């Protein structure tokens, strides 16, 4: 998929439930599988990656749609930790 | 963040936000969803 499109037109949007899985997914699509267990081991796709709960993502989505599909889950997820983890990977602070 | 015209890969998880919900959000923001999936690790 990443080879079919330009790197700068692709965005990976995550719906992972905690900081650790968010960091793992984000690292995998940016720098390659950190566990070296899967097909993307050593493959640096360099894709932009965001979590659906990040404020800048939320701001881009019509509020009624966000409320219907995401808002309920944000009450039970540790959003601050997830956002910190994904931003850290995106900004190369992993 | 501007998702208008972006190609989105929506990676959901059953215990978090599902891929279908991510895709609906991305489409409503003007993105083109090129891959949507929901993982389950149970």
Question: Could you tell me the residue ranges of all domains in chain A?
Answer: 7-90
Looking at residue A18, the DSSP 8-state letter turns out to be S
Question: Token digits for A2?
Answer: 């990443």
- pLDDT average, residue stretch A31-54: 89
What residue numbers bound the domain in which B20 lies?
A: 7-39
This model of the complex carries an ipTM of 0.94
- CA A64 and chain centroid, separation: 22
Q: What are B1-42's pLDDT values in tens digits? A: 889 999 999 999 999 999 999 999 999 999 999 999 999 877
- pLDDT average, residue stretch A70-76: 94
Question: How far is residue B17's CA from residue A75's CA, in Å, rounded to a whole number?
Answer: 12
B35–A1 C-beta distance less than 8 A:
yes
- For residue A82, pLDDT beyond 80: yes
How many C-beta neighbours within 10 Å does residue A24 have?
16
Number of domains in chain B: 1
Size of interface A-B (CB pairs under 8 A): 97
Residue B18 lies in a domain: yes
A20, A58 Cβ separation under 8 angstroms: no
Query: pTM to 2 decimals?
Result: 0.93
Residue B24 lies in a domain: yes
Largest CA distance in chain B: 35
Mean pLDDT of chain A: 92
Residue carrying structure tokens 């793992």: A24
Give B-chain residues touching A17 at CB under 8 angstroms.
13, 15-17
Residue B1 lies in a domain: no
| CB-nearest partner of B1 from A12, A15, A60 | A60
């Amino acid at each position: 998929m990443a080879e079919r499109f330009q790197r700068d037109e692709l965005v990976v949007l995550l719906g992972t439930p905690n900081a650790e899985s968010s960091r793992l997914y984000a690292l995998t699509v940016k720098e390659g599988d950190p566990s070296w267990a899967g097909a993307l081991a050593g493959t640096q796709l360099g894709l932009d990656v965001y979590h659906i709960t990040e404020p800048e993502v939320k701001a881009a989505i019509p509020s009624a749609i966000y409320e219907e599909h995401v808002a309920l889950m944000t009450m039970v997820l540790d959003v601050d930790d997830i956002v910190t983890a994904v931003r850290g990977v995106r900004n190369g602070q992993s | 963040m501007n998702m208008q015209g972006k190609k989105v890969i929506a990676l959901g998880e059953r215990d978090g936000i599902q891929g279908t919900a991510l895709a609906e959000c991305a489409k409503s923001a003007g993105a083109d969803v090129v891959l949507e999936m929901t993982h389950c690790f149970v």
